Amino acid sequence: MPAVPPPRRRVEFLLVPFVAAVCMAFIIGAIVMDKDTGGCPPASWHNHVALTLAGNQATAARVDAVTACAGAKCVPLTPTFAKNAPGGAALLARQPNGSWLLNVGTQPSSSMTFRAFDAAGNVLGQQSATLNWTRVGGNEKCGGPMGALKVALSLP
């Protein structure tokens, strides 16, 4: 007498609920383990570049304004822009020690071109610099403050 194979119904009653239970366990585990807290908080930090003037000190003494450009976007647009714009002095401000402090916001550029001008608007020096930012706070997803960088603009 040939052996009777188990009815298909028995396999379905055992295998399907078992597979469903395993899948639900993975789904519930993924939901519980998800540590994503949702959106990022608004940025409350500013990254800075400190620009010092190096080289000929007589030329450095004549510097009246400095611009910083990332591609076609310059701060300030012209040497007189910072003096005439409301709050413009905060964009690129001369410090008591003779350096210039640039607020680059929360998304800093990886390279910038700096130009120094005299009172008549003549270019006294120009230099491009690659900026290697290092995160000092926050996280990769939401960003965070970067360490302040120092750049020296060499004047002829």
Spans of all domains in the chain = 47-155
Tell me the pTM. Answer: 0.61
H helical segments located in the chain: 8-33, 57-61, 81-84
Dihedral sign of CA atoms 38, 39, 42, 46 in order: positive
Residue 130 clears pLDDT 70, i.e. is over it: yes
Q: What is the mean pLDDT of residues 135-151?
A: 82
Query: How confident is the model at residue 85, as a pLDDT?
Result: 44
**pLDDT-derived band at 35, boundaries 50, 70, 90:** low
84-104 pLDDT per residue, tens: 444 444 457 778 887 888 887
SS3 content of the chain, % helix, strand, coil (to 5): 25, 35, 40
Instruction: Name the band, by pLDDT with cuts 50, 70 and 90, for residue 19.
Output: confident
Categorize the per-residue pLDDT at 15 as very low, low, confident or very high, splitting at 50, 70 and 90: confident
Give yes or no for a cis peptide into 2 (omega within 30° of 0).
no
Determine the average pLDDT of the residues in 8-15: 68
Identify the pLDDT of residue 9. Answer: 63
52, 122, 129, 156 from 78: Cα distances, Å: 19, 11, 19, 21
Domain 47-155 fold is Immunoglobulin-like (2.60.40)
